[in-house]
Each structure stands twice: as C-alpha cells, then as structure tokens.
Amino acid sequence: MTTQSIHGEWSSRLAFIFAATGSAVGLGNIWKFPYITGEYGGGAFVIVYLLCVAMIGFPVMMAEVLLGKRGRASPVNSMRVLAQEFRQSKLWILLGWSGVIAGFLILSYYSVIAGWALAYVPQVASGIFVNMPAQEVGVVFDTLVANPLMLVGWHTVFLVVTMVIVAGGVQGGLERAVSVMMPALFLMLFILLGYAMSTPHFIESVHFMFDIDFQKLLYPNGEFSGDGILAAMGQAFFSLSLGMGAIMVYGAYLPKKTSIAQITAAVVFADTLVAILAGLIIFSIVFSNGLEPAAGVGLVFKILPVAFGQMPYGSFFGTLFFILLVLAAWSSAISLIEPAVAWLVETGKFTRFSASIFSGIALWLVGLLTVFSFNIWSDFKPFFDKDLFTLIDYLTANIMLPLGGVCIAFFVAWLMTRKSVIEELEMSSDSFAYHLWYFLLRYVTPIGVCVVFLNAIGVFS
C-alpha cells in the first residue's frame, strides 16, 4: 500500500480535526438541524438524533476515515485499490462513485442556500430589519428566492470562493482555510450563545430541545410513522458528512501513524456540540420574540431576522449569525467538492487548478436546478410531488447517504481482514473500545439503517 497521497498530507492531527470538523459543521448544523428539530417537536427528535450519531454515525465515520487512510486516494480510486487488495468485486468502485456524486449533488444546492446567507449579511448589517413587521421580513425573503438572477449571482460568488480555496491544495488551500474558519466559527458561536442565555426564554429553549415526548415524533397524525426517525438518521449522516466521499478523501491525507478513534471522537463531539448550541441559540431567539419554531426551511431566513430586528444590538448579532452561517457553509463546501477534484487530478488529465475550474463550472450549472425550483420551475414536481431542490435533498440525505454508510460498514466489517483494520485504526485489538466499535459496525449499523429505511418506505405498514 502507498504511504502518502499524491495530493499531500495534513501537517498534523489537529489540522485533520479542524478540516473534518469543518466538513461536518455546516448548514446541516446551523440551518437544517434547528428547522427539522422544530418540525418534529423538539426533544424526542434530538434524542433519536443523538442515538443515531452515537450508534451509527460515529462507527461509520471511523470506517470511512479508515478506508481513505488505507486507500490514500480519491474515494473512487481508494475503493478500486481496496477491492483489489481484498480480492472483492470491481463493482465496489461504485461506492466511491456514490460518495462523489452525493457530495456533488448536495453542494449544488448547498451553494444556493449559502448564497441566501451571503445575501443576508449586508442586509442585516445595514439595519434593514430593525422594527420591520414579520410579514415584511417574509416578503424580503420571498423576493430574494423569487429572483433567479439574484440567486445565481450569490450562488456564483459562493462557488468562486470555494473553488479558489480548493485549488490551493491540501495544506495551502484546505488546511489554511479551515485553520482560520473554525476558530472564528466557534468564537462567534459562543458569543451568540452568551446572548441567547441572556434572553428571557433560554430555559424554554432548553426544555423544547430536551423534554421528550415521543408522540410528537412517532404519531404526528395519530398513526405510526417512521418519517421522524428516518429524518434523524439522515440528519446524522448529513451533519457528519458521511457517505459523501468527503471524510474518505480527508482520511486519505492523514499521516499513517494516527489514531482514527481519537480524532473521529473529537470531530463527532465538536459537530454535535455545534448542532445543539445552534438549536439553543435559535430557539431562544424564536421563543423570546413569540415566534413559531416549526417554520421549516425558512426558519433562519424568515423568522430570525424578525427577532434580530426587535432586539437590542440586533443588527450586530444578526450580522454575526449570518457570517457564522457562511463560514460554516464554506468549511463544508470545500470538503464536498474535494473528492471530485482529487479524482480528476488522479486521471492525469487535469492539474489541481484546472480540475477546480471544471468542477466549479459543473457545480454552477447543476445548481441552477435548485435556483429555478424556487421561482420559474416552482410548479415542476417530477417525482413524489417534490420540486427539484426537495427531491435532490431527499434522495441524497435520506437514501444515498444512509445506503452509502451501510456499504462502508459492510466493506470494513465483513470484507477487510481484521489485521488490516487494526493496522489502520492504531488501537489494540484486545481493547473494549475496539470490540464495541466492531460489533456496532458489523451488526447495529447495517440492521438499524435497513430497519429505519424499510419502515420509511412502508414495508412494515
């Protein structure tokens, strides 16, 4: 096996932790987690989500890092090499392709949503939302998403910055960017948390997120439904960047003598902490202003500006929040496109610079599907009564990522030799931690994902 990726390595364990945490911490934590939690009633969803992270997400992340560390290449070529090494079918290369495609599709709409956040930074900073009625705030958002040229413009700005960072390489681009973004992100997060704790309804937000009422999750209409559990599992994969190829390719840049368990635990802890804190911040502001937590996709963009417009120093804290959202989006975006860029470079037909330009143009074009689904194609619902944005989000987060996770778990736990697994993990084969992880990966992860998935599509109804 090769000892180093042709793309380079992280300079240290901390660099990988920053990068992988940056990949995991993004719109999934600050935009998606709060609004899904609001839709599914709070505490019960949070508990199921935390269980999914601990019993499925954490073991799969370790396995995905392990595959990258062993393969030392893009997800596509890592799976090709590993299938050869362990004498498995060449079709396992499809797992690598699945990750690359899922990450590409997610970033295509991710960039558009991040563009909304970019658009809001100057608007909030200008004080436009100060004392603005809720209805007018909603009009500002609706006007933004109804304007395809405006969305394309911000989508373009976000992607250009993303590709400039990626073109810089592992240490010169990715590592340098996250070493600035992640400390800044956590600093802003804790400043906003301090503000949230000073609001009169902070305790109410704590109760909303941690008081458990499973009836809200399992019986939304008086009938049993696995939608909430599937959403929690899909969110765990989405938030941790699993099955997207990002964690696998970042694992390929790890120095050989690195404990996968320790660095993965640090990343999972940081990612989960950000999601919980973001929820507490957002719901404290929502409740303190008498607003509705179950506002769906527009929670951050329609509801929070109303609150920021009514609070003391709201323009300052609102600007801080949307900058936080943009930084989180950028730290994830660079990881989502890295698998595709790495594969293009490995073909020998592209330099890193040209691969970044080619990928950026392709992403920009596919992103137009999301842009137009909010305006001129809003009535176009080709499958399952979903517009193009909702369809791409559902297929990736709820289907491609969990199924990719099952395949990752199966390959590592059932097809790789234990000797190879232990070599890459850098942990004792006699330790309780190793046996627990191996048991979860072999049995709990695949069975859990399959049961939830089959229930969601109505097999058990």
Chunked into runs of 10 residues, the chain (461 residues) has average pLDDT values of 70 85 81 79 86 91 94 93 94 94 92 92 90 84 92 95 88 82 86 87 89 67 62 80 87 86 91 89 82 68 81 85 86 90 92 94 94 87 81 83 88 93 86 92 86 61 51
Query: What is the reported pLDDT for 416?
Result: 94
Number of domains the chain is built from: 1
Burial call 286-311: b when 16+ CB within 10 Å, e when fewer: bbbbebebebebbbbbbbbbbbbbbb
Query: What is the reported pLDDT for 131?
Result: 84
pTM listed for this prediction:
0.87
- Tell me the DSSP string of 65-104: HHHHHHH-S-HHHHHHHHHHHTT--GGGHHHHHHHHHHHH
Residue 194: closest CA among 316, 370, 333: 316
Question: 3-state DSSP helix/strand/coil percent for the chain, to nearest 5?
Answer: 75, 0, 20
Is 339 within the bounds of a domain?
yes
Query: What is the reported pLDDT for 61?
Result: 92
Is 422 within the bounds of a domain?
yes
CA distance 55 to 62: 12
CATH number, domain with residue 233? 1.20.1740
Is 439 within the bounds of a domain?
yes
Is 366 within the bounds of a domain?
yes
Is 71 within the bounds of a domain?
yes
Is 4 within the bounds of a domain?
no
Query: What is the reported pLDDT for 185?
Result: 84
Query: What is the reported pLDDT for 234?
Result: 77
The number of residues making up the chain comes to 461
Query: What is the reported pLDDT for 380?
Result: 81
Is 1 within the bounds of a domain?
no
Give me the domain span that covers residue 70: 13-456
CA distance 221 to 1: 54
